Amino acid sequence: MADVATEIAKKMEEKAEPSVTVAPTKTVVAATAEEAETKVMVTPPKAVEATNKSAEDEVKPTETSSLVGKLETDVEIKASAGQFHHMFTGKPHHVSKASPGNIQGCDLHEGDWGKPGSIILWNYVHDGEAKVAKERIEAVEPEKNLITFRVIEGDLMKEYKSFLLTIQVTPKHGGAGSIVHWHLEYEKISDEVAHPETLLQFCVEVSKEIDEHLLAKE
């Protein structure tokens, strides 16, 4: 009976040993899980979306920059900076007397002369045509002899979405006279519209005639 019991025990041990081989299955599963986590970390779609957005951002400034522009020039005059500045703040309606061939009239429609927010209507001749420009005074800085006008109605608005003119007069260093700085900032309605170089030349001519007018009154 003892020998039979021993043989049965051996057979039971032999059957129990194969069950230990289940452990490697867990190792395989763990390796598969690690591989899955590694793949999740890769996010190509996000990179593509970022590239598309930056490409759009790069195009927009390029399209806008072809329509937005700035022009500026300096004009030397013999009059003082304060005198010239006062012509556009205190008595712009006298500019037509100084430059009758270019400026036909200037009327105050709202507010006070030389005050921010006031509305002024100019009648002028540009490129051989009689034109009008309704402007709002955007800023006045007496200590800098600076004034800024924004065109809100008139002929310029047929070709430009926005148009600002800034006039700043600075005394010459080490001598008599002043420098008139004209700064035009604008946005065209299309690429077919020309940059306002002829209007900038118009401003130069008006400046010189105002200077002559001021000197003649002294």
Kindly report, residue by residue over 105-130, the tens digit of the pLDDT: 999 999 999 999 999 999 999 999 99
Distance, CA of 185 to CA of 40 (rounded, Å): 52
pLDDT band at 22 (very low <50, low <70, confident <90, very high): very low
What is the reported pTM?
0.70
pLDDT tens-digit series, residues 40-63: 333 333 333 333 433 333 333 334
Fold exhibited by the domain 68-216:
Alpha-D-Glucose-1,6-Bisphosphate; Chain A, domain 4 (3.30.530)
Report the pLDDT value the prediction gives residue 218, as an integer from 0 to 100: 72
> DSSP character for 119?
E
Higher model confidence: residue 29 or residue 76? 76
Q: Which run of H or E residues covers position 154?
A: strand 146-154
Report the pLDDT value the prediction gives residue 79, as an integer from 0 to 100: 97
pLDDT tens-digit series, residues 133-145: 999 999 999 999 9
Distance, CA of 10 to CA of 135 (rounded, Å): 110
Higher model confidence: residue 90 or residue 65? 90
Q: What percentage of the chain exceeds 90 in pLDDT?
A: 67
Report the pLDDT value the prediction gives residue 12, as an integer from 0 to 100: 54
Report the pLDDT value the prediction gives residue 58, as an integer from 0 to 100: 36
The domain spans of the chain are 68-216
User: Tokens at residue 93, please?
Assistant: 């309606």
